[in-house]
Structure 1
């Protein structure tokens, strides 16, 4: 027994010594330090066990606007306050994602060597390439060129819904298929390399293993399924570029390809980088659509209100003839009115994003920076802002922050800042699902247009109910930390039945010229 206690004492002393030698120092001006019960790796274990929910546990434990945690010698600041988030935004020059980008891209895509895409030999050259690629992406996703891509995508969504008959489907699987095909067809054109079931499955297998691939440790063994899926996609994309499929592709492909070629990137590096480019447009759209459909169809009163709103503000009936010359009715859904004149539908979409958020933005501190003259962020540290904390903060959203209530957004639809409404500004600063300025997702408008088109058409055409009878929320895959939206860990089989009121009616979407 004495020997046991002696060993225990030795371990305790070693633990204290290691903590002193390994743990980074902590200045009084930094956010308060929250230690783990298990030295060095306790927080890492917490993240592995709970995923991004671990940040919620730390927030509840500390009740502070910001804290510091250490994983080995890495200092990580967690920001839980919209005021501190706004302060970090004002220091975007020194609190940035860019230092992570090249390393993460190289590891996830499997790019070797020192080509221009990830070269670290010239910091100036790498910054130039990064800036040109960022400009190319933003010029399309936030510009007029996106109108044509959105139109093509919405048309593909309409065709998929037209092909849907009264049947049973796994709701998430169906949403994934529809949005994958609509997105990739509209971006890559007639030679879309993702247009088969094997490639489609590879996208999602690759996406699910991005975290393991980014670790860059024994990828073929630690992330075997994701590694194999990525290599399948690389092969298909290489063939796509070799056969000049990009000639009839969208400007989203062509403008980036132009930048890559001018920089001297090899065709394989271009194909490898391309495996990552479509993921931000796909990975969160399917779970987002799943949840907004779940949240609407599981609330019959809300469903009826949204249907009435669409009929009154965004739907036009007109007579027409079918292919045989027989009279019929055509229903036109005006997508601009869906967005601008259906506030309850849009608020429902926002409320789903708020409560299903899973993202925790990651930024690198390149220079000692003080936020609001209160907290000091030390250079070479990491800053994370968990949306699943800010999006349910009672100080921002009120005492019912954890309840589903779309109407909380109805008086906050205007952009923040107008009229000096501080309550509204606080809510928008706390709405983190699409990131926060200047780090907001450039594809958010495209994703919103796609999802509102799909949801509005399904709401008007079908009644959807679970095969099991009751709407029971599926278990969440909390370990999927890379996704901005929580993803179900299991399927949900639903009955899809055409509404009697709309049988025999054809549907179409209308979008005003120059708008998406």
Structure 2
């Protein structure tokens, strides 16, 4: 018995020493330093599972490296801390590829072998499926008539839903559930049109699961649902089915990825944006004051009507825009994954990143960098992004909520308008008061937020009373349309690469 134990222990020691030696001899001297090798290959995984997004922040503070290597089973992962490395990586977007990472999503969503081969074919040219898809659908989500159609429909639904609350007099609800329900409804209806599958409450509730075939049944496309949907859905169908020959079944399964992109983050950001506005009296007063300045009063049918054109919110409400951006900065969790399709050199060839590895630019690391944001980087400052010559302008390259460089979230214009419109309508028409804690707001916890969440999902819903400020007031909400993009990401700021 003692011999068996000794033999087993010796085997474990030998395996451990071999793995440590293997990491040492396979780590190129030019690669970023490998850390957390004490428990070979498994140490980093344990940290990711236990600490989630805080893992990368801790490693930055502990090791103080500009970039480092995590050795995982069968893979290297390079994690970027230094903001100054980001532009050089973004310029090599064909090799430092997000599309290669996104193409692997087909295996998760259940697309066919043929579709997966199509998505992975020719990953570095405009003729390939992934790059051409991005460029083909981009006009539908860029400022202009197609985006205006989606925004207008979204705001119409938002207005209908807030009108219901006014008619009810007041409403008690879980803020997380209410914001999620309203965002799923208005976003999905605006995007998928009259035959929107999410009008079925069962589908709306189940969208987060990846059960085969749960979402966009091929019948949606067989019935021509895409023909009356938004330009985004029409263009995706044209590109995938008409131009590249994807089956209707694969197009339908691929729409799950579209669903995640459209709903996964905006539903959670809506909660955090309303929380940051309504939980602080000063923020609420300042946001409400500038939004109210957009309201005009007209007489229609013998009674006064408050009229507001929400397209003006993007240009005339710098405090609301700043609060929105600061919410994204303080709450974004996205790790910014990329896959290296070839070896990459940095710093004049002094640093080597190996082909086949994964690269991460975690938003929490960049968003808490004092060199980029100042000494108060950990503090929520709702005025941080307000243009002011007396204030230090933030380092926009470090703002990663929508990605950066070649891979900017194509839905950023839609999401920004939608979320700011929701906030504007709520501050104009309602007070939101927490039910518990003596009517005082408490900071939500999110210890159990899913590891893949782009923004933290809170542990417990916040019970609130949503009360109309003036139930007798009549409102007319408009959206006149806009060709102008918001200056949210660095790519829109003159002189920033």
TM-score (structure 1 length as normaliser): 0.86
Counterpart position of 2:182 = 178
Counterpart position of 1:244 = 224
- In the TM superposition, 1:101-500 aligns within 5 A as 101-104=102-105, 106-115=106-115, 118=118, 128-144=128-144, 145-164=146-165, 165=168, 166-204=170-208, 206=209, 226-227=210-211, 230-234=212-216, 237-262=217-242, 263-312=244-293, 314-321=294-301, 327-373=302-348, 374-411=350-387, 424=393, 427-468=395-436, 469-477=439-447, 479-499=449-469
Separation in 1, partners of 2:124, 2:30: 33
| Structure 1 residues 24 and 45: CA distance shift in structure 2, 3 A | farther
Write the deviation string for residues 27-84 of structure 1: whole angstroms up to 9, x where unpaired.
2322222124322211111112222221112112111221111002311110011101
Separation in 1, partners of 2:401, 2:196: 29
| Structure 1 residues 467 and 423: CA distance shift in structure 2, 3 A | closer
Separation in 2, partners of 1:90, 1:123: 16
Separation in 2, partners of 1:134, 1:14: 46
Write the deviation string for residues 131-178 of structure 1: whole angstroms up to 9, x where unpaired.
332222212111521111111111111111111240111111111111
Larger mean Cα displacement after TM superposition, 127-136 or 356-365:
127-136
Contact conserved, 2:143 with 2:413, CA < 8 A, in 1? Answer: no
Larger mean Cα displacement after TM superposition, 347-356 or 65-74:
65-74
Separation in 2, partners of 1:282, 1:386: 21
| Structure 1 residues 121 and 291: CA distance shift in structure 2, 3 A | closer
Separation in 2, partners of 1:402, 1:148: 38
Contact conserved, 2:69 with 2:77, CA < 8 A, in 1? Answer: yes
Separation in 1, partners of 2:121, 2:364: 38
Counterpart position of 1:418 = none
Counterpart position of 1:25 = 26
Separation in 2, partners of 1:66, 1:163: 52
Write the deviation string for residues 389-413 of structure 1: whole angstroms up to 9, x where unpaired.
1101111111111111122211379
| Structure 1 residues 422 and 69: CA distance shift in structure 2, 3 A | farther
Q: 3-state SS of the aligned residue for 2:383?
A: helix
Write the deviation string for residues 362-418 of structure 1: whole angstroms up to 9, x where unpaired.
1112222222335322222111001111101111111111111122211379xxxxx
Q: 3-state SS of the aligned residue for 2:69?
A: strand
CA RMSD of aligned residues (A): 2.5
Q: 3-state SS of the aligned residue for 2:399?
A: coil
Separation in 2, partners of 1:5, 1:126: 60
Structure 1 position 434, deviation (Å):
0.9
Q: 3-state SS of the aligned residue for 2:467?
A: strand
Q: 3-state SS of the aligned residue for 2:395?
A: helix
| Structure 1 residues 328 and 422: CA distance shift in structure 2, 3 A | closer
Separation in 1, partners of 2:98, 2:120: 16
Separation in 2, partners of 1:397, 1:28: 32
Structure 1 position 128, deviation (Å):
2.7
Contact conserved, 1:23 with 1:40, CA < 8 A, in 2? Answer: no
Structure 1 segments unaligned to the other structure (5+ residues): 207-225, 322-326, 414-420
Separation in 1, partners of 2:45, 2:337: 16
Structure 1 position 466, deviation (Å):
1.1
Structure 1 position 438, deviation (Å):
1.5
| Structure 1 residues 389 and 364: CA distance shift in structure 2, 3 A | same
| Structure 1 residues 293 and 143: CA distance shift in structure 2, 3 A | closer
Separation in 2, partners of 1:349, 1:121: 38
Separation in 1, partners of 2:11, 2:116: 51
Structure 2 segments unaligned to the other structure (5+ residues): 485-497
